[in-house]
Amino acid sequence: MNELPVPTFDNIRAAHDRIRPRIHRTPVLTCATLDRMSGARLWFKCENLQKVGAFKIRGATNAVFSLSGEAARPGVATHSSGNHGAALAQAAAWRGIKAIVVMPRNAPQAKRRAVEGYGAEIVFCDPGVEARTEMLRQVVERTAMTVVHPYNDPHVIAGQGTAALELLEDVANLDAVIAPVGGGGLISGTAIACAGASPRTAVYAAEPANADDAQRSFRAGRLITTGNSDTIADGLRTSLGSLTFEIIGAGVTDILTATEDQIVAAMRLIWERMKIIVEPSCAVPLAVILAHPDVFRDRSVGVILTGGNVDLEALPWAR
């Protein structure tokens, strides 16, 4: 059962006022070729062009700047092998406080460099949920730092919701908005933002078929955190949390999936036709749109592109 407070639309607006001076107002792009292929009118909110290369800076910045002076003083800590770690590092640097990111020893070199580049300390742990949770507990015990969870946190969710808020400001009368779901922070904030700013807009979550725990949880009506997570979309291997599960159940229209091949094909389409760099997780919504044409045809659809942090030496279509 969830005991955390559910963020409101007002929390998202307050988050936007709080973080706006520090983040990019990312552009909304369109692409005639992808409109033709999908039969829909697609509006891409380019959070891959956001600071630290991902929407995660929104939630991390809102969380860090929502802390009282007392809570902020020892610094902030989290576990992340991905964009949340880099985002928290940057947000802490902006506030002038320390940050520690717990990372598995086998995390990619590029992710380690990013976190260190923003000035955070890395503490390594063994791979696996238990090891990282235990290591984070030890870090907090030693430092008294405040933990900023990657997604199961009301301030983080309110921050992530500001991407949809901007999209709905820039594009009127969207029939639907679609965003990927991993831990569920972004899609939760998106659902709350749509309900507040444009109640007629349907909210779809996009998930890899190979890591479909959110879809199974949504359809079963209970939180399922087990199952396969063997997907190229490395940002979406996480399961929902108690808070994000509750928000998604109340505010998401449906969760749809795409296969690995569909994800890689969609990623390449975005690179080739839109000339922007997206990571595999970021391509899942377009993959879902192209895999479920009946759902989206003839509709005006906002697509949140989540991140562009990818190893340029190891592209999935390289020979």
| Amino acid (one-letter) located at 245 | F
Q: Which stretch binds a copy of itself (CB under 8 A): 95-103, 186-194, 243-251, 306-314?
A: 306-314
The Cα-based distances of 287 to 167, 202, 235, 260, 315 in angstroms read: 20, 18, 15, 9, 17
Interface with a copy of itself by CB under 8 A: which range of 79-87, 126-134, 236-244, 310-318? 310-318
For the stretch 119-132, what's the b/e string if a residue is b when 16 or more beta carbons lie within 10 angstroms of its beta carbon? Answer: ebbbbebeeeeebb
Contact call for residue 277 and a copy of itself (CB under 8 A): yes
Segment contacting a copy of itself by CB under 8 A, of 28-36, 122-130, 177-185, 224-232 = 28-36
User: Closest CB to a copy of itself among 32 and 220?
Assistant: 32
- Let me know if 108 is exposed, middle or buried by CB neighbors in 10 A (0-12, 13-18, 19+): middle
Report the nearest approach of a copy of itself to the CB of residue 227 (Å): 31
Residues in the chain: 319
| Residue among 10, 27, 137, 138 that touches a copy of itself (CB under 8 A) | 27
Cβ neighbours for 17, distance < 8 A, ≥ 6 positions apart: none
The minimum distance between CB 277 and a copy of itself, in angstroms, equals 4
- Which residue bears the tokens 């039969």? 39
Select from 220, 229, 188, 208 the least CA-distant residue to 288.
208
Size of the site for a copy of itself (CB under 8 A): 25
Give the CA count within 13 Å in the CB-facing half-sphere of 180.
33
Given the rule CB under 8 A, which of 95-103, 179-187, 286-294, 309-317 is the region that contacts a copy of itself?
309-317
Q: Whole-angstrom Cα distance, residue 285 to residue 313?
A: 24
Q: Is 256 helix (H, G, I), strand (E, B) or coil?
A: strand
Per rule CB under 8 A, is residue 172 in the interface with a copy of itself?
no
Q: 304 has which bridge partners?
A: 45
> Does 268 sit near a copy of itself (CB under 8 A)?
yes
- DSSP class of residue 221 equals T
Q: Which of 69, 275, 294, 298 binds a copy of itself (CB under 8 A)?
A: 275
Task: Please say which residue, 28 or 140, places its beta carbon nearer to a copy of itself.
Answer: 28
Q: Quickly count: other Cβ atoms within 10 Å of residue 33's Cβ.
A: 11
Q: Which listed range, 79-87, 195-203, 286-294, 308-316, lies at the site for a copy of itself (CB under 8 A)? A: 308-316
Options 192, 274, 283, 290; binder of a copy of itself; rule CB under 8 A: 274
Cα–Cα distances in angstroms (integers) from residue 249 to residues 205, 241, 244, 289, in the given order: 11, 12, 8, 21
Stretch that binds a copy of itself, among 26-34, 71-79, 161-169, 215-223 (CB under 8 A): 26-34
Among residues 48 and 66, whose Cβ is nearest to a copy of itself? 48
39: left (phi over 0), alpha (psi -120 to 50) or beta: left
Interface residues for a copy of itself in 30-59 (CB under 8 A)? 30, 32, 48-49, 51, 53
Q: Whole-angstrom Cα distance, residue 108 to residue 127?
A: 12
| Identity of the residue, 94 or 204, whose beta carbon is nearer to a copy of itself in the bound complex | 94
Minimum separation from the CB atom of position 308 to a copy of itself (A): 3
Q: Between 49 and 289, name the residue whose CB sits nearer to a copy of itself.
A: 49
Residue 156 or 282 having the CB closest to a copy of itself: 282
Residues at the site binding a copy of itself, with contacts judged by CB under 8 A: 24, 27, 29-30, 32, 48-49, 51, 53, 268, 271-272, 274-278, 308-309, 312-313, 315, 317-319
